[in-house]
Amino acid sequence: MSLKILQFGATGQLSREVLARAGGEVEVIALSRAEVDLVDADAVARAIGEAGDIDLVLNAAAYTAVDRAESEPDLAYAINGRAPAAMARACRARNTPLVHISTDMVFSGAKAGAYVETDPVGPLMVYGASKLAGEDAVLQLHDRSLVIRVSWLFSAFGQNFLQLMLRLAASQPVLKVVDDQRARPTASADVAAFVLAQARRLAAAPGGAREWGLLHFANQGVATRVEMARAIFELAWPGRPAPPMEPVPTSALNLPARRALNAELDCRRLAEVFGVTPRHWREPLAEAVAALPATRDAA
């Protein structure tokens, strides 16, 4: 029996990874922003209400311009806060499960160790605050909702740290890379695979089941941005030295949005509830780099 997922998002890195892996008994109907304007909460709700026979809604769309959000707070809150709220209300009305993707940036970074789902939140920037608003709305409005916090997503698709490092290496003689931020880099491909693998279970889970609520998903292994950058070039430039890198503190970059220095996510609940232990981030990073032959060969 086939299962249908209605996905908000069609061109972002996670959206594309889901579409690349769907098939067989799982059909994904992806809605782009051209089809549904996420700023229009009524249009978002209408898309779900008129979707026909669907088993699950996945919100893989977001406003992700972390620094620009400081000057566009209304837009960030509309897409990251009010749109998920509209999804939750519409899903509740038809008793359809909702999976919503969130971020490690809801935390302040002040904790010494890894963050568990129940730790106090404290976003440092507009982007994180807008994502937290979306989390809260989804969880409060619908008892069949799963909010998945992810960390430092990378992919062969879209805009992410992998793409940024390769692009800057082609134009800058020395790369300034922060060395005081740490997290568990996470493959969008692995998040997509998890959602698709659990879709049937989630579609059948009743309200109040242990599957619902907050969940952290991150690949194994903690890294700084510098360590991740070095791994990228080891893979992308085999047999060649990495480009010159200057490790700098985050404060040296004078970015509009403050960053949490510790964004490490604890994923024990992922193992306890779903029986899933993600692989080390270096393995999917190698796969993502291998999917960029033109970029690698041009380096």
Instruction: Name residues whose C-beta falls within 8 Å of residue 245's C-beta, 6 or more positions apart in sequence.
Output: 174, 175, 176, 177, 226, 229, 230
Q: Which amino acid is at 107?
A: F
- Catalytic annotation on 77? no
Nearest-CA neighbor of 225 among 147, 168, 158, 148?
168
State how far the Cα of 280 lies from the Cα of 7, in Å rounded to an integer: 27
Q: Where are the beta strands (DSSP E) in the chain?
A: 3-8, 26-31, 56-59, 98-103, 145-150, 153-154, 175-178, 182-183, 186-187, 213-216, 223-224, 245-248
**Token pair 């493959």: residue:** 187
Active-site annotation holder among 63, 77, 115, 127: 127
Catalytic residues: 127
